[in-house]
Structure 1
Amino acid sequence: MLDYDKEADAYDASRGGEARAAAATRAVLDLIPDTPGRLLDIACGTGIVTRRLAADRPGLRVTGTDLTPGMVRMAGARLPGAVVRADSRRLPFPAGTFDAVTSIWLLHLLYDPGDLRAVVAECARVLRPGGVYVTTVDKADAHDVGSDIDAVLASRPRRAAPDAAGTVTAHAVRHGLEPAGHTTFPGVGQGRSPRSTIADLRRGWFTMLPPGDPRTEEFAVRLAHLPDQDRRRPDPVFRVRAFTKHTDG
């Protein structure tokens, strides 16, 4: 897994920046009622989406949390006084505090099933009855856009996705959350080129293909033979699901 403390300063620029954040924000807010209340954005990273949630929905009092000091520092600069360092598995808030909880690009990192269960349980716990939980799902699949790069990488080893929509939904339902809608948004500026994909392989961005592994270099060689080495293929399309907490929960 990446060291997100070291990645903090360059994180936004390498992941679509403000354009992707704007697309993510629109998708999230489409699934949250336009009413005053409190929103918690867990694992908020640099706060690039969190800040937009607050700006685009002034009726919401937005709080962000993240476990990584570097991310908390950057998010805190964007939302002074509204970001706290916290573990998403043990949130430091009373039950029923928030009208909405969001987790954007978090669940795909939780390969320990216990961590995934704990995070979903905590999101449900801090939601008030009738509140909405919004999360990204199926993140790895978002990058499979039918390109020649995808064809080269099709045979790579993969882990089962912890953020598979069915898995997330099952955990949500166990904790009193019912499906309440879904949408998608483009990963603006994140389309892969062969050359950038080779660099990502060698950085260890592909699970189960560590840098230096002979299989990693085999894929890199095949990618190097593709045409238009610097032309980005289509942007990924990210999926978002919403869940509402039972009013008797």
Structure 2
Amino acid sequence: MKRRDFLQMSAISAGSLLIPKFALFGNPVDPSAFLTDGMDVSMKKQLADVALNTARSKGATYADIRIGRYLNQFVLTRENHVQNIANTESFGVGVRVLANGSWGFAASNNVTKEEVAKIAERAVAVAKANSKVMAEPVRLAPQKGYGDVSWKTPIEKNAFDVPVKDKVDLLLSVNAVAMKGGANYVNSAIMAVNEQKYFASTDGSYIDQNVHRLYPFFVVTKIDKTTGKFETRRSFSSPVGMGYEYLTP
């Protein structure tokens, strides 16, 4: 067994210890939260304008803002039982500016006009402080703005609309096939991610994105009872920019 495979297997077997550090950053939420709409794009643009205008008024020559809502669901099983199910959501805003030839950044999880104005001002203050010790000023290449545009991952079936029970049943059926084939241990998991990201800049871009990713995988271990040696194999699947249709016939 290779060291890399051993580390992967050990991490997956950790189950509940792995999830909070691995991919599920954010606050635990009820799965029903995944089905609620995020902030309206018109409100995001209002917040963006507050940040950009504040930054410019405080001396920034360039500024951009990112508003992000991140939804994560992780379903983990082992052999014939569920190890962990986690649902998390994180929501926040970050403002980056260029002032006096130096970068500054500030962020908050309080997404209001008042807070956005504060962090834009704070980012400019950070940039000006950084400029006192910079070796060379930052110079940006010319960049045209793209106006109001949006993009969404072209999915057929939202993974968050699929009941957790269906995901568990699928994973346990995978495990059963592996065990029937002689595997001694098998871990399987489905990770669903939805990133709702909004970007705006003083160049004139207002870009709204809704990105979906799905990551199903399994790890199988077979032990030779005679020698005590064992081999582990991992599925070849990688995260894909698709919905749950990736796992349905």
**TMscore range, shorter length:** under 0.3
Q: TM-score, normalised by structure 1?
A: 0.20
Of the two, which has the highest radius of gyration? 2
